[in-house]
A = this chain, B = another copy of it.
Amino acid sequence: MIPKDEDDLLTRSRALCDAMENEDDWLKREVLTHAGNRWAFGVIHALKEGGRLRHAELRRRLGGVTQRMLTRTLRQLERDGLILRQDYEEVPPRVDYELTRLGEEFLLKIIPMWLWIFEHAEDFRQAREAYSTTASE
């Protein structure tokens, strides 16, 4: 189905594979980790929905994240230009985060992938089960 779009995608991804060999490693390592990062997606999504959010508010929305991991995730996202950190330099401290345009685009790019993965969660479970049984015999 949809052979035209698919071919187009593959053609472009072929060029992409060539480019990967020449690219520096940091792009794949630093930026791409966000895609597979457990918290990065939640942070970006929360900022898209909530606008400017503070550290504590983000923690509440994500549920289960420690300060350390939230801080680290935020730092990485900031470094890569996906979010903006604003420190009001008040006492008590007030800092909030907002999504950049780059961050918004990134969110829109990774949502389909996440959706697809969750839609196929059952397939993955079955594949894993089949693998365990064949591996044992």
Contacts and interface: CB of A to CB of B under 8 A. Distances in A.
Given A116-B109, A124-B27, A42 B13 contact: no
Contact-residue bracket for chain A:
35 or more
A14 B48 CA distance: 11
Interface stretch (A51-59, A91-99, A127-135): A127-135
Main secondary structure, interface of A, reads: helix
A117 B78 CA distance: 16
A10 B49 contact: yes
A4 to B, nearest CB: 13
> Nearest 3 CB-CB pairs, A to B?
A81-B127, A36-B36, A32-B36
Interface of A: 6, 9-10, 12-14, 16-17, 19-21, 23, 27-38, 42, 45, 48-49, 63-64, 78-82, 102, 105-118, 120-121, 123-124, 126-128, 130-131
